[in-house]
Amino acid sequence: MTVRIDHAITSGTFSLDGETHQVDNNIWVVGDDEDCIVIDAPHSVDDILAVVAGRTVKAILCTHAHDDHVRVAPELRVATGAPILLHPDDQPLWELTHTDELWDVDIEDGQSIKVGGAALTILHTPGHAPGAVCIYVHDLGCVFTGDTLFEGGPGATGRSFSDADQIVDSIRRRLFELPDETVVHTGHGADTTIGAEREDLD
């Protein structure tokens, strides 16, 4: 397997319900030496393209449509020619940030997206957002959880379009079925593992 994960951190703001917060977001890029998929499009196209490092971007895959995850998605689409992929249940959130342009392709639970010989499996995990997804990569032993699961527990559910019971249900049913040693790459902050978070939540 020549597929690898590249990572950087970029900074900007997150706004919802009339409040704005300063946030650091993880940039995750999965691919080989030629092709890659960018997971989320936070804050800065230049910061994302630095991680892409000249490779062909096959897709911009959004874990959910909060503005700190999709703000530069249309700009990144222009820069790379890659389509934006989003779960359609996040349309109301997308429209809070992008009023005059849409994403390109709907993603659905169970879908498999290939890059460089690795399969990225979409797990629909509503709760933090209605269209929130996690991306499981069996070949790499990891899952990208966006804002659904962090080191220390579930993502925030205090704002509009979130549901606290639903996020715990999603984590138990979809993420805790993965092996304990699965590495969790989050939307903000440090990595964790499924095993560590299972212990925390149970």
Residue 147 lies near Zn ion (rule: CB under 5 A): yes
- Segment near Zn ion (CB under 5 A); pick from 16-24, 28-36, 147-155, 165-173: 147-155
**153/179 with CB nearer Zn ion:** 153
Instruction: Candidates 44-52, 55-63, 64-72, 168-176: pick the segment binding Zn ion (CB under 5 A).
Output: 64-72
Instruction: Specify the residue, 58 or 188, whose C-beta has the smaller distance to Zn ion.
Output: 188
Stretch 70-109 residues interacting with Zn ion (CB under 5 A): none
Q: How far is the CB of 158 from Zn ion (least distance, A)?
A: 11
Most distant pair of Cα atoms in the chain: their distance? 45
* Distance in angstroms (rounded) separating the CA atoms of residues 21 and 202: 30
Residue span binding Zn ion (CB under 5 A) among the ranges 2-10, 39-47, 61-69, 84-92: 61-69
| Smallest gap from residue 96 Cβ to Zn ion (A) | 12
By CB under 5 A, name the one of 55, 58, 66, 185 that touches Zn ion. 66
CA distance 153 to 156: 9
**Closest approach of Cβ 14 to Zn ion, in Å?**
7
* All residues at 6 or more sequence positions from 100 whose CB lies less than 8 Å from its CB, including other chains: none
Q: Name the minimum Å distance from CB 162 to Zn ion.
A: 9
Cα gap 42→4, rounded to integer Å: 20
3 vs 132, beta carbon nearer Zn ion: 132
**Cβ-Cβ contacts under 8 Å for 45 (sequence gap 6 or more):** 72, 75, 76, 79
Chain-centroid distance of CA 169 in Å reads 19
Give the whole-angstrom CA distance, residue 103 versus residue 3.
26
Sheet harboring 35-39: ordered strands across? 4-16, 19-31, 35-39, 56-61, 84-86, 105-106
Should residue 40 be labelled a site residue for Zn ion when binding is judged by CB under 5 A?
Answer: no
Residues that bind Zn ion (CB under 5 A): 66, 147
